Chain A
C-alpha cells in the first residue's frame, strides 16, 4: 500500500507538467524558442514546483503545529499568519501598490509572528493554549480589519483582494521557486536538526522538560521556523487552506507511525496533494478553478471518510 502510494505519487509528479489548458507537442519540448518549450519550462514546471513546495511547507507546518499545540485542529494558519498576510496584501492593493503585494504579504505574516511572540514573552510559564488563543484573537481582529479594507476599496480592488484570498499558483519563471526552495530547505533543515527534542515533545511537556529539553524555546523556534516558511509561501500563493490540517492526519492514519517519523513524508505527500489538486484545478473546466476550492473539495470528503473508518 505504502509502496503503491509512493509509486503513484512519483508518477503524478512526473506527469503533472504535461497536462494543462494547452496540449504541448512532446517533440517540441526540447526545442528552445518554440512556444511549447516556453510554456513547459517557464510556466508548467515552475507551476508544479510551486505547488509541490507550498504543499510541502503547509503540510509539514501543520504536523509541527499539531504537536506543539497538542491540538489536532491546528494548522500553520491558526496563529493568524495567513490573515496577517491577507490583510497586508489588501492594504497594498488599496494603496495602489499591487506590484509589491507579495512583499506586503510576507511583511504581514512576519509582523503577526513578531506580535505573537512579543505577547508570549509576557507569559510567565510556557502556555501554548494561551498562544493559540492570542493567534485566534488576532485572526478575528485581522478579519474585521479586512472587512474595513473591503469597505474602503473600489470594485476592482475588492476583486483583487478576493482573488488573493482564494489562493493561486500562477507563476512564471524561477525567481519565486528559488526563494520558496530556500524556505523549504530551511524548514526541513530546522526540523532535522531538532528531531530528537521534537520526539520528546510527543510525550508530554513535563516529560520532555525532565529529559533536558527547553520546551518553551524549542516550541518557539519551531513555530517561528514554520511561520517564516509559511509567510514566504502565502506571499506567493495566497492562503491555501486545508492542506496543513488534513495531510498530517491522513498520513498518521495510513502509516500508523509516530509524528517524528512522518516529518519527511508529510512534506512530500503535502506537496503531492497540492500538485494533484492543482492538476484538477487546471484541467477540469475551461478556466482554472481557485486552488483553495479544489483542496477543500477533494480533501474534506476524504478526510471525513478516514475519520469514519477510524471510528469503526
Chain B
C-alpha cells in the first residue's frame, strides 16, 4: 500500500466543507491509483456530488488539499483543472444543447489544443478538430449521432457524449458522476465494458447508484455517509461489511 501511495494520480487530503452547521464533507481523504476504478457510494445526501464539485473546482472546500499527480490543484479554477487533466461528466448532463454531438466534442478538442483565441479560421472545416472528434465519437459508438444536436439526443446518448467530451481532453483522471443513470440495460452493459477497458489508461473516480455496475466495475469502493468516509475496501469486503450494510446497502 505504501509503495502505491507515492504513485496516486489523484489524492484528496482531509477535505472539509460545511454549510453552516451542516458538515457535507467531513475530513475526507482518498486516493485514486493508476489502472483502477474507485467508486464512491452512499445514500442520497451523503455529499457525493459536493465532493466531486470540490475536486472539479466548482465548490471551494473549507480546508484540505487536492493533488493531481504531484501538483496541488486546490487553488486552481475549474478550467485550469480541466486543462491539467481532470475530465468529468455530470449527474445532470451539461452540454452545449444547441450544438451537434460533433461540435460538442470539437470544442473539447479545441480546448485541449489550447487555441481558443483564434479569430479567423472557420471551425466548420477545421480538419484537426473534426478528425479527432470523429475518432472519439467512434470509440464510444456514438458516431451515428454526430450531426444530431445534443438537445435531441436521448438521455443515455447525452451521458455518453459527456464522456466523449471528457475523453477529448486526454485526461489523466476521469470523474464520472452517475454515468449509468437513465441508461437502458444494453447501453449500461456497453458503457461498463468501455470503462473497464478505459481504466487501463485512465483511472476513474466513479459515483454510481447502479449496484450491479458498481460491483462489476470497481476495484475499490468507498462508502460516504453524512459527509464521512466510513469504509473503504474491495467489492468483496464491502459486501461482507456489516457497517456498510446497516448504513447503506440494507436500507436500499
Do A and B truly interact? no
Q: Which residues of B contact A (CB under 8 A)?
A: none
Q: Which residues of A contact B (CB under 8 A)?
A: none
